[in-house]
Amino acid sequence: MIALVTGGSRGIGFGVAKALAKSGYDVVITGRRAGADVAPALQQLKDCGVGAEYVAADVSSKSDRQSLLETIEKHFGKLNVLVNNAGIAPRVRADVLEASEDSFDELISVNLKGPYFLTQMIARWMILQKNTDSAFRGCIINIGSISATVASVTRGEYCISKAGIAMATRLWAVRLAEFGIAVYEIRPGIIATDMTAAVKSKYDALIAGGLLLEKRWGTPDDVGKAAAMLARGDLPYASGSALILDGGLTLPRL
């Protein structure tokens, strides 16, 4: 079984890649960094006793997406799981009254357009694999965010990109159902990664003040365990679902 995790060399993506490797999946991870910078993460995956490869690729680039697919076809010949994890935060947090079009375009290109069309490419390949082998099992997992529904006026473009991912999950779940390819969304809350390091003190205080039901930061491993469960098929009869991992942040309370 082969899994592709975009942005899989660090943060949530690495947590997902590790969990899949521990479940016996050979793993392909992507990112923008040089191969030498990713070598330690790649070795950790290989230490799980599986195959692991890194492909430098920018999901917002059509040519990079095509090259990525060709590389996986050449080296592995198949793909069972796609995890659309690669994403970025705004370079500068700006109020929606002040945010720039350049920032909006960059966020939408990386966080929404890239995974949407990568899914299109890989879904077509998965259909071919299913038509060739009736036993083939495919799964697509989108890493979204509670920002799909929780408004943050200093990160408007990020929220919109994640709201788009939520709808993309539903669209692909409907379209791929006839082929038995399940599509899910994982919607993390406050996760301890390099992306959230700059706001650590803010959220430390909010968590201590009762923001969450589970009074701790989420971890990439939390998300990884959920992704591996979905990839293995341990949550049947649920294609199109969004799995919320936010420690109770979005649970309405009086």
> What is the set of active-site residues?
158
Contact criterion met (CB below 8 Å) for 151 and 241: no
Q: C-alpha 151: how far from its chain's center?
A: 20
Contact 119, 92 (CB under 8 A): no
Q: Which two tokens stand for residue 98?
A: 């002040």
| Residue tagged 């050979």 (tokens) | 26
Residue 150 to residue 244: CA distance in whole angstroms: 13
Q: Which residues have C-beta within 8 Å of that of residue 209, sequence separation ≥ 6?
A: none
Which residues neighbour 122 within 8 Å (Cβ) at sequence distance 6 or greater?
4, 69, 79, 82, 140
Is 179:128 a contact under the CB 8 Å cutoff?
no
Residue 125 to residue 155: CA distance in whole angstroms: 35
φ, ψ dihedrals at 220, nearest 5°: -55, -30
Rounded Cα distance, 249 and 245, in Å: 9
